[in-house]
Amino acid sequence: MTPTHDNRPRQRPERPAVESWFLRANLPGQARALWLKITTLGHPAEAGVTEAWCSLFDGDDTAAWRTTVPWPSASISGGDGTPVALRAAGCEWHLDDHGGSSRGRLTGDAGTVAWDLRFSRVDGPLGEPLCLLPSRRLVDGPLPRSKLLTPFPATRVHGTLHWNDTPWEITDWIGMQGHNWQDAHAPEYAWGHCVFTTPDGALTGLAEGATGRIRIAGVTTPRISLLGVRHDGRTYRFDTLVDLWRQDGDIAFPNWTLRIRGADGEALLAMRANPTRMVCLGYDNPDRSRRFCHNSKTAAVTLRVQPVRGHGFELASTDGGALEFLLPDAHVLPVV
């Protein structure tokens, strides 16, 4: 599938659902990162809203912004071969099959942030669209209700950003762009992503995975995990949803550990965030209930993979991991 197919809008304002497009970028070798997001939230009995988000991570300094506008004042269009255009709250995104751009300005308790960024996919297998579900037929099927696609799992990001009076020159930062949608946020999850690099900036692999509970027919499932790994030109998949005895996803904030086996072998992914370097975001559902997203883009990551065939390998990053926890209570303050 193409990135414009994976990024095409799925939801409508009259339908109770949540849909998000997000972009993150890290300065290689340093604990500095940014995260941008556009979210649409449909309500069953009233007009929906669109939200523009920005979070910044600079060592021990973090900041987050959110601006909410009525859905009719935003514009969400394109997909399936034509560029996707997202416009809301003074923020504009352009997404095509080669990369995209984002520009915007938000003001809040942390002051003002303004950015003008562009990103391009990394050539080769690392940059190919990634779907963690066992089959692409599940993407547009009724189950699971939570969908996650990564049109650009490895990107290079360029541009400028100003946080109050401080400029960030963004040159060859490493990032990714994702897209997800669901009827409502999952009751609980941990999600992680990392593009691994050498000290001189060469890309050596990537991993993306999740552990979470979902609701089916009003019943909350046990924790279900998925993991995709790319290394040395090959993709390793650990995505058998119903094979729970071969996966152990432990969510113990601020740590997430996933041990999982599949047809390609076995893997151990361990991620740890520093709570003092996180932001907490209030994620609203169409029924007005709320969960809290504890978000780090500078998490530590270790990955060990033992393939069925071939040699095992290990990848690590001290501060290049994107790690999110969605929990019923806020463990980091303030909440944006």
Pairing of β 130-131 and β 111-121: unpaired
d(CA 149, CA 137): 13
pLDDT the model gives residue 165: 87
pLDDT at 333: 85
Strand partners, 99: 120
Q: Give the pLDDT confidence score for residue 199 in this predicted structure.
A: 81
Residue 92 has what pLDDT?
97
At 276 the pLDDT is 95
C-alpha 163, offset from chain centre: 22
How high is the pLDDT of residue 329? 94
d(CA 76, CA 117): 19
Q: Are 176 and 155 in contact (CB under 8 A)?
A: yes
Which residues in the chain land under pLDDT 50? none
Q: What domains appear along the chain, each with residue ranges and CATH number?
A: 3-327 (2.40.370.10)
CA distance 325 to 336: 15
pLDDT of residue 136: 82
Contact assessment for residue 228 and residue 208, using Cβ atoms and an 8 Å cutoff: yes
pLDDT at residue 241, as a whole number:
56
Distance, first Cα to last Cα, the chain:
35
Residue 239's DSSP bridge partners are: none
Evaluate whether 187 touches 213 at the Cβ level (below 8 Å).
yes
